[in-house]
Amino acid sequence: MEVLKVERLSQSFGGLSVLEDISFSIGAAEKVALIGPNGAGKTTLLNVLSGFIPPRAGRIYLLGNDVTHMPSHRRASLGLSRSFQINTLFSHLSLLSNVLLAIQGVQATRYQMIRPITAYKGNFDKAQELLELVDLWGERDSAITTLGHGQQRQVEIILALASKPRLLLLDEPSAGLTSGETGNLVHMIRNLMGDSTVFFCAHDLDLVFSMAERVVVLYYGHIVAQGTAEEIQNNPKVREIYLGTEK
Amino acid sequence: MEIVVINLLNGIAYGMVLFLIAAGLSVILGLMGIVNLAHGVIFILGGFIGLAIAKSTGSFLLAVLSGAAVSGVIGLIIERGFLRFLYKQDLPQVLVTFGFVYIIANLLLWIWGARPRAAFVPTYFAGSVAIMGSYFPTHRFAVIAVGVAFSLGLWWLQEKTKLGAIIRAGMDNAEMVSGLGINLTPINIGAFFFGSAIAGAGCVIGVQLFGSVTFDAGIDMLLVAIAVVIVGGVGSIQGSLLGALLIGVIDTFSRVYLPVIAEYTMYLVMIFVLTVRPSGLLGRKL
Amino acid sequence: MILRVSKEEKKRLIRLAPHIFIGLLLLTLPIYTDLSIVSLFTKILIYGLLVMSLDLLVGYTGLLAFGHAAFFGIGAYTTGILIKHYGITSFWLSAPAAVLMAVLAALVFGLVALRASAIYFLLITLAIGQLIHGIVHTSARPLGALTGGSDGLGGIPYPDIGFSFSFSPNSFYYFTFVIFIMCALLLYWITKSPFGYSLQGIRESEIRARALGYNTWLYRYIAFVIGGLFAGVAGVLYVHYNGFISPEGVGMGASGLLWLMLILGGSGTLWGGFIGGRIILSLQYFVSGFTPQRWPLILGVCFVGIIMFYRGGILPQLIIFWKKMSHDGSLKG
């Protein structure tokens, strides 16, 4: 069964069609990239997939469940997780609290009102594991706002990974990072993602081809090409689109 | 039957006064995102000043102008002296204006005492007009006329002038407007001043409808104004007019026919509208 | 023999010390002060609970609830009406009924109010507060007869808890103190629980919370109802304390006073509200001694002054001080 199946998805803003008849699917443990020029609709697609914008038409199936009109938080319970293009963190809470909340988000105990959060040792251990993997355990009590931008970006991704999602959506993970920071980030993602299914969109083609096995190309709301990384790199249409924009 | 017509006219007159208060509140909210909770007491303040001037000079026109001027100035002081320093911090701004509610209301009490200030009706508006066998005070026609004139003026400003276009754009997307090189600050200040001034004038003109005005009526008037703004939709002048007339009429009729809910009818209307159509009847989607 | 206290335990003691100290102070109050001070502190405890319930909404969940006094009023008025008009004098009946009314009101109004966001939420909760104010203020029958209209409802005695026990101001103070401690403890546990932390996350970033699996609407709704519940409890205590409740305690003026207490003390800290309330009420007590009519003016000036210059509140400064002393502040894993 595919982890994600998208059928004839369409979305428009006002009269402007942003996504047109999008269909594709992603299998378990696949790492798939979504590329396309600015304004092609990449972030919109991720927003529709994660439930922040309803589609105008089409269907979305997550692990066989029709989630087309399901609210975001319920998709998370089914195993969908995402990161945002702009850091969307719990700014004034500590790093540890951020990670705990991310781990807790899919647990029933998140509604528990009487026992303190410190009683859930399992989650603390998981949080420690995650933060130690990226060398941020020492900063666990710092408020997010005190961390550097590169670190915050790492946290942005960690939060999405904390709940061990089945499908991970990453929206421009390296946005705003220097190439050095990007390298670190890719390293971190590859360490943490394990055999999760990952669907991410990015501008940086180096990033794309170092992480993805398959690539989907979006051009003004339409999928114009799909294939392995190699196929896409050699696809003449794709080169035409990117001529002058990227390498 | 004539009772219904009289009540309808009363409701419309009341609605016009509400419009005068609400228009300022709505524009300020739409342009600057500030809920000026002190707007109600500024309204009352204008009335107090105006009535005092009327009493000593006998001139209604002077009363209206002075009420408007003082209200406008106070609004200006609040904005320039305090709100300006809390730029883009919505909640603190709202809270500061709330503090001024206490300050101004208590100052009114201190200076003028707790006795209600009686309305002043100029001789040229005295008397009443016969309508279908009943009598309708001439002054209230004047109120309606002022309201209509004001709405037309505002409509013309909004639709037919460059300033109006800038204001409308400012309400939609202030960043874009400043990005285009247009300085919104004087416009914001002007809106604050005129919004407050109109409210002050509105009180002087409309006091006759209430018979008198007391120092603590500021909060009630604020809430009616808020109800009007919400029902009509934030930032929409036409919405404020519609909301004001609607609430004015509904409130008047409920006082006559359903006194048990009369005191809070408009809150019910407001809650109803917010539930069914959160952006208000004619509002922009916020 | 020297009692060795481990460093861990020493830290814990330092952390708890202020609470223990204040607790002892409050406990022994009637012994060394006169009745008017005991009365003041009863009021402080009641308002402390009320402001803490507001803090759950404002400081923790980020809900700008501006009509919170309404639930307080519902608790107070229901108690008063049951006792005076329906002869239900037993505390064990009237109090739960009153709190239940407050909860029901919160359940209903929460549905309406939570359709709105941020500033609109503020306005609609303000409207709801005024709605309740209007209901208890109107003199039209049949409501007016029940609520006493603008005159309010008076002649309400201390609670009848049975066992032929009659309250005195001192014993009622302890009664209030016990209930305050119980409720404050509950609120404290809630803020330290997974639910409480989730509320804070939702306050910080609603979008992120949703993406992580939190049903943000439901959390806010539950928080709103819990806030209403404890406000109702405060209302019950108040009407027994004061013997009298009027519409002034229900409207925007009352809600605004709560906000001032909250901001003065520092929101998001629970105890901040208590301290803020203590300061404001003590100030009011003091000022009423020589210019009661100018109290709203002074209140307004304080309000504006605090917002303009010192928005963080007093308690966070104190907390920073104590944290330095006990090297605390972290979540212990």
Interface confidence, given as ipTM, is 0.91
Q: How far is A42 from chain C (nearest CA, A)?
A: 18
**Cα dihedral B170/B175/B178/B180 (nearest 10):** -100
Whether residue C196 lies within 8 A of chain A, CB to CB, comes out as: yes
> Is there a domain that residue A89 lies in?
yes
C259: closest chain B residue by CA: B95
Tell how strand A31-35 and strand A197-201 pair up. Answer: parallel
Residues whose CB falls within 8 Å of the CB of residue C133, separated by 6 or more in sequence, listed in order: B264, C70, C73, C247, C250, C251, C252
Assign 3-class secondary structure to A168-221. EEEECCCCCCCHHHHHHHHHHHHHHHCCCEEEEECCCHHHHHHHCCEEEEEECC
pLDDT at C208: 95
Q: How far is A157 from chain C (nearest CA, A)?
A: 12
> Is there a domain that residue A141 lies in?
yes
Q: Is the dihedral of CA B166, B170, B173, B178 positive or negative?
A: positive
Structure tokens, A10: 């369409």
* C174 pLDDT tier (thresholds 50, 70, 90): very high
> Is there a domain that residue A165 lies in?
yes
Contacts of C215 in chain A (CB under 8 A): 71, 73-74
Contact C193 A114 (CB under 8 A): yes
Q: Please state the pTM of the whole predicted model.
A: 0.88
* B217 pLDDT tier (thresholds 50, 70, 90): confident
Residue from C223, C215, C186 nearest C64 by CA? C223
> Count of residues for chain A?
247
* d(C-alpha C297, C-alpha A8), whole Å: 64
Nearest neighbour of C252 by CB, restricted to B85, B100, B219 = B219
* d(C-alpha C320, C-alpha C261), whole Å: 20
In this structure, are residues C101 and C74 in contact, taking their beta carbons and an 8 Å threshold?
yes
Cα dist from C84 to A13, C97, C243, C244, whole Å: 60, 14, 11, 11
In this structure, are residues A217 and A224 in contact, taking their beta carbons and an 8 Å threshold?
yes
* d(C-alpha C112, C-alpha C168), whole Å: 42
DSSP letters for C105-173 = HHHHHHHHHTTS-HHHHHHHHHHHHHHHHHHHH--STTHHHHH-GGG-B----S-B-STT----HHHHH
Q: Say what angle helices B39-57 and B60-81 make with each other, to 10 degrees.
A: 150
- In B, what residues contact C, Cβ < 8 A? 33, 35, 82, 85-86, 90-92, 94-96, 98-107, 109-110, 219, 223, 226-227, 230, 259-264, 267-268, 270-271, 274-275, 278, 286
Q: Is the pLDDT of residue C257 over 90?
A: no
Mean pLDDT of B27-36: 81
C139: closest chain B residue by CA: B260
* d(C-alpha B133, C-alpha B151), whole Å: 30
Instruction: Kindly report the average pLDDT of chain C as a whole number.
Output: 85
Instruction: Kindly report the average pLDDT of chain B as a whole number.
Output: 83
Among A18-27, A217-226, C203-212, the range scoring the smallest mean pLDDT is A217-226
* A195 pLDDT tier (thresholds 50, 70, 90): confident
> Is there a domain that residue A150 lies in?
yes
Summarised one tens digit per residue, pLDDT across range C29-40 is 878 888 888 899
Beta bridge partners of A31: A198
* d(C-alpha C130, C-alpha C137), whole Å: 10
Summarised one tens digit per residue, pLDDT across range A103-125 is 999 999 999 999 999 889 999 99
Whether residue C326 lies within 8 A of chain B, CB to CB, comes out as: no
Q: How far is C3 from chain B (nearest CA, A)?
A: 51
Residue type, B157: L
CATH number at residue A193: 3.40.50.300
> Tokens 């609040």 label which residue?
B78
Whether residue C120 lies within 8 A of chain B, CB to CB, comes out as: yes
Q: What DSSP character marks residue A143?
A: B
Structure tokens, C169: 């101001």
C213: closest chain A residue by CA: A73
Among A162-176, B64-78, B183-197, the range scoring the smallest mean pLDDT is B183-197
Whether residue C294 lies within 8 A of chain B, CB to CB, comes out as: yes
* d(C-alpha B78, C-alpha B98), whole Å: 11
> Is there a domain that residue A247 lies in?
no
pLDDT at C272: 79
Whether residue C3 lies within 8 A of chain A, CB to CB, comes out as: no
Q: How far is C112 from chain A (nearest CA, A)?
A: 20
DSSP letters for B188-239 = HHHHHHHHHHHHHHHHHHHHHHHSEE-TTHHHHHHHHHHHHHHHH-TT-HHH
Nearest neighbour of A113 by CB, restricted to C190, C214, C215 = C190
pLDDT at B283: 66
Structure tokens, C271: 């105890």
Residue from A213, B219, B92, B69 nearest C254 by CA? B219
* B2 pLDDT tier (thresholds 50, 70, 90): confident
Contacts of B102 in chain C (CB under 8 A): 256, 296-297, 299-300, 303
Nearest neighbour of A101 by CB, restricted to C192, C197, C215 = C197
Identify the domain containing residue A75 by its residue range: 4-242
Residues whose CB falls within 8 Å of the CB of residue C197, separated by 6 or more in sequence, listed in order: A97, A100, A101, A104, A117
Kindly list the structural domains of chain B, giving each domain's residue range(s) and its CATH number in brackets, ordered by start: 2-276 (1.10.3470)
Q: Which of residues 174-213 of C touch B (CB under 8 A)?
A: none
Mean pLDDT of A116-143: 89
Cα dist from A132 to A54, A96, A101, A117, A126, whole Å: 37, 11, 17, 20, 10
Chains that touch B (3 or more CB pairs under 8 A): C
Chains that touch C (3 or more CB pairs under 8 A): A, B
First-to-last CA distance in chain C? 34
Cα dist from A197 to A76, A166, A204, B215, whole Å: 14, 6, 20, 67
Beta bridge partners of A169: A82, A199
Which element (helix H / strand E) includes A77? helix A72-78
Contacts of A50 in chain C (CB under 8 A): 211
> Is there a domain that residue A147 lies in?
yes
Phi/psi class of residue C42: alpha, beta or left (left: φ > 0; alpha: ψ in -120 to 50)?
alpha
What is the total count of domains within chain A? 1
Report the SS3 class of residue A235: coil
Residue type, A24: F
Q: Which of C188, C189, C193, C220 to mutate to test the interface with A (most CBs of A within 10 A)?
A: C193
Q: Tally the C-alpha atoms within 13 A of residue C147's C-alpha that lie toward its C-beta.
A: 27
Q: Which of residues 221-260 of C touch A (CB under 8 A)?
A: none
In this structure, are residues A22 and A185 in contact, taking their beta carbons and an 8 Å threshold?
no
pLDDT at A247: 47
Q: What DSSP character marks residue B131?
A: E
